[in-house]
């Protein structure tokens, strides 16, 4: 069993309510919870906290909460005792042998999707006992001492180009640590035994230090959700949710109970262009109302409605069209889409999607659901395929 533990005190003085501060549409701590939940290896996500509001948020995002004793939650308290307390609490439940603990810092929301699983693979491959995440340190570093300034990473009398420095120095970025339980049990430390490292890009290594960082992090997260051409070139099957994607989530109900919805005519044009590329388009909806197949017929696309398990439906559709799941784009907006979004290779959220959906999406539209969002995704796909053809045939 592999456990992820996220310590989160409620009494931050530098940034009040830091772990609850909204970053990229989500509470700060929610990013780390979702990172751990998306891991193929992590079996349980634990949040250790002394704060009821943090506990409520953690539960909402799928973590197990371990109440943190007050003596482990003061300003000077190190993280190791809190992680140890959480680990011992879970051990008392006799859940089985714990192979590794992934210790995530809630102040680092910029991890890439593959960081945690890649690091677990690394610690196993290296036969290591512990691991830290880091970025390369290959700058010109000086240290001040009583004797004055001294250059540490180079000889200033024989200056070399920065790119010629050896680049073997690592700077811990504090994003996460992984260790085998004996390291914490016997050494009282997050690192020990044979230590290895997981490299991360400097832009993924920022930690929340001051309130202004929230805006920076939100901007970086938004940039990640802008679709790149290589991503859209991969699309061989497009799946659309209905309510909130092809509609604006409103419904008109007359005196006889008949329903009507608002759609965007431009979506039909975009979908037609995608189909001309030979890419199937399918609507998958939980809605039982006849308006769903009626709209599908108008658009000329397949429709599966009254669907309680969208992930299973997408599996079946992909198998039928002989398309790998990594080549499926799914456009969605609400929490019941999360499982399916995590299944496909190109998860897309509309602009007004639930924050939980935006957090797992690889791209987010600038248009709202039912107001051109589907057309926008279609335009991304058409443009990416046209760009690919130009590269393949420059003449």
In this prediction, residue 332 carries a pLDDT of 95
In tens digits, what is the pLDDT along the chain, a chain of 395 residues? 999 999 998 877 667 788 888 887 788 898 899 888 878 899 999 999 989 999 999 998 889 999 988 888 777 778 899 999 999 888 888 778 889 999 999 999 988 878 999 999 999 999 999 999 998 776 777 888 888 888 777 776 777 666 666 556 788 899 999 999 999 999 999 999 999 999 998 888 888 888 888 888 888 877 766 676 778 888 999 999 999 999 998 888 888 788 888 889 999 999 999 999 999 999 999 988 889 999 999 999 999 999 989 999 999 999 999 998 889 999 999 988 988 998 888 999 999 998 888 878 888 888 899 999 999 999 999 988 887 776 666 55
In this prediction, residue 214 carries a pLDDT of 83
Exposed, middle or buried, 380 (CB in 10 Å: 0-12/13-18/19+)? buried
In this prediction, residue 165 carries a pLDDT of 60
Which of 1.20.1250.20, 3.40.50.1000, 3.10.580.10, 3.90.76.10 is the CATH number of 229-392?
A: 3.40.50.1000
Exposed, middle or buried, 175 (CB in 10 Å: 0-12/13-18/19+)? buried
Beta strands, E only, 241-372: 251-253, 259-261, 281-284, 302-304, 328-332, 346-349, 363-364
Q: How far is CA 337 from CA 188, 258, 284, 353, in A?
A: 41, 26, 10, 10
CA–CA dist 340, 310 (Å, integer): 6
Residue pair 196/148 in contact (Cβ under 8 Å)? The answer is no
CA–CA dist 303, 294 (Å, integer): 9
Give the number of residues written for the chain: 395
CA–CA dist 129, 5 (Å, integer): 17
In this prediction, residue 348 carries a pLDDT of 93
Strands 100-104 and 2-7: parallel
In this prediction, residue 105 carries a pLDDT of 93
In this prediction, residue 161 carries a pLDDT of 66
Residue extents of the structural domains in the chain: 2-224, 229-392
Q: What is the CATH number of domain 2-224?
A: 3.90.550.10
């Amino acid at each position: 069993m592999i456990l992820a533990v996220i310590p989160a005190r409620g009494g931050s003085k530098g940034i009040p309510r830091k772990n609850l501060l909204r970053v990229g549409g989500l509470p700060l701590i929610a990013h780390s919870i979702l990172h751990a939940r998306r891991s193929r290896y992590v079996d349980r996500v634990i949040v250790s906290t002394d704060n009821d509001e943090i506990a409520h948020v953690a539960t909402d995002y799928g973590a197990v909460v371990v109440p943190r004793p007050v003596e482990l939650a003061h300003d000077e308290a190190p993280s190791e005792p809190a992680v140890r307390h959480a680990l011992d609490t879970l051990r008392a439940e006799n859940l089985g042998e714990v192979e590794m603990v992934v210790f995530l810092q809630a102040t680092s929301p910029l991890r890439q999707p593959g960081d945690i699983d890649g690091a677990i693979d690394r610690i196993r491959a290296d036969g290591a006992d512990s691991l830290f995440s880091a970025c390369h340190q290959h700058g010109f570093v000086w240290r001040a001492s009583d004797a004055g300034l001294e250059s540490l990473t180079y000889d200033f009398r024989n200056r070399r180009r920065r790119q010629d420095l050896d680049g073997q120095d690592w700077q811990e970025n504090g994003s996460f640590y992984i260790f085998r339980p004996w390291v914490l049990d016997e050494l009282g430390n997050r690192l020990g035994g044979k230590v290895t490292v997981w490299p991360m890009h400097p832009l993924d290594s920022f930690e929340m230090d001051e309130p202004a960082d929230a805006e920076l992090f939100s901007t970086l997260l938004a940039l990640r959700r802008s679709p790149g051409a290589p991503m859209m070139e991969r699309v061989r099957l497009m799946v659309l949710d209905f309510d909130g994607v092809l509609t604006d989530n409103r419904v008109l109900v007359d005196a006889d109970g008949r329903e009507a919805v608002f759609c965007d005519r431009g979506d039909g044009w975009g979908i037609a262009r995608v189909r001309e590329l030979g890419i199937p388009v399918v609507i998958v909806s939980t809605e039982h109302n006849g308006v769903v197949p009626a709209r599908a017929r108008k658009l000329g696309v397949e429709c599966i409605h009254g669907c309680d398990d969208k992930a299973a439906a997408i599996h079946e559709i992909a198998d039928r069209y002989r398309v790998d799941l990594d080549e499926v784009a799914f456009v969605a907006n609400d929490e019941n889409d999360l499982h399916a979004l995590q299944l496909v290779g190109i998860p897309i959220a509309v602009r007004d999607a639930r924050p939980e959906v935006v957090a797992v999406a690889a791209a987010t539209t600038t248009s709202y659901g039912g107001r051109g969002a589907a057309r926008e995704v279609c335009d991304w796909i058409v443009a990416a395929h046209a760009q690919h053809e130009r590269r393949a045939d420059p003449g």
